[in-house]
Amino acid sequence: MKMQTKKLDMQKLLAPAALVILYVVFSIFGKNFLTLDTVKNILESSYYIGFMAFGVTFIIITGGIDLTQWNIILNKAAVAAGDAAPVMLGIGNLLAVILDFIIVAFAMFLLVKAMNKLAALKKKDEEPAPEEPAGPTTEELLAEIRDLLKEQK
C-alpha cells in the first residue's frame, strides 16, 4: 500500500518537475531565455489553462453540478394549503444555458486571441527590415554647396 502511495505521489510531481528542469536547461543554454519578459510570456500563454484546470478540479471534487434541478415554487401558499399543484420556475435551466454560453464564449475568445497573436507574429516576420538612410538630404547638400561657395569668395 505504501509503495502504491509513493508511486502516485511521484506521478503528481513528475510534470511540474519536468517543467522546472526544462526551464533550467533553457536558462543555461539559451542566450536570452532567463528574462522577465520570458516568464511574462509563459504566464500570459498559460494562465487560462490554469483557470480551466481549477474549474474542472472543482467540478470533479463536487461530483458535478446539475443546475437543472434548481426550481423556484411560485405558489407556495396554495401548495401548502393543498389547493393547487406547484407551479415551478425552472431557474436552473436558465442558469445552465447562461453558464454554457459563457464557457463557449470564453473558449471562442481564447481561440480568436490565439489566432490574432499568430497573425501578428506572421505579419511581424514578413515586415521588411528598415532601410538605411540613403545619405544627406537635399537641404544638407545645398547648405554644404553654399558654405563651399562662401569659402571660395
Residue-wise pLDDT tens digits, 40-83: 777 777 777 777 777 777 776 766 677 778 888 888 877 788 87
Mean pLDDT of the chain, nearest integer: 78
The pLDDT assigned to 128 comes to 67
Is 10 strand, coil or helix? helix
CA–CA distance, 1 with 7 (Å, rounded to integer): 10
Beta strands in 1-153 (DSSP E): 72-73, 88-89
Residue 103's nearest CA partner among 76, 65, 72 is 65
pLDDT for 2 beyond 70: no
pLDDT band with cut points at 50, 70 and 90 for residue 5: low
CA–CA distance, 38 with 23 (Å, rounded to integer): 10
pLDDT band with cut points at 50, 70 and 90 for residue 106: confident
The pLDDT assigned to 8 comes to 60
> For the chain, what's the residue count?
153
pLDDT for 125 beyond 70: no
pLDDT band with cut points at 50, 70 and 90 for residue 143: very high
pLDDT for 137 beyond 60: yes
Dihedral (CA of 60, 63, 64, 65) sign: negative
The pLDDT assigned to 4 comes to 59
124: CB partners within 8 A, 6+ apart: none
Q: Contact at 8 Å (CB) between 123 and 100?
A: no
Is 128 strand, coil or helix? coil
What are 77's three cell numbers? Answer: 401558499
Is 72 strand, coil or helix? strand
Query: What is the rounded average pLDDT of the residues 132-149?
Result: 85
CA–CA distance, 25 with 13 (Å, rounded to integer): 18
pLDDT band with cut points at 50, 70 and 90 for residue 15: confident
Q: Contact at 8 Å (CB) between 75 and 89?
A: no
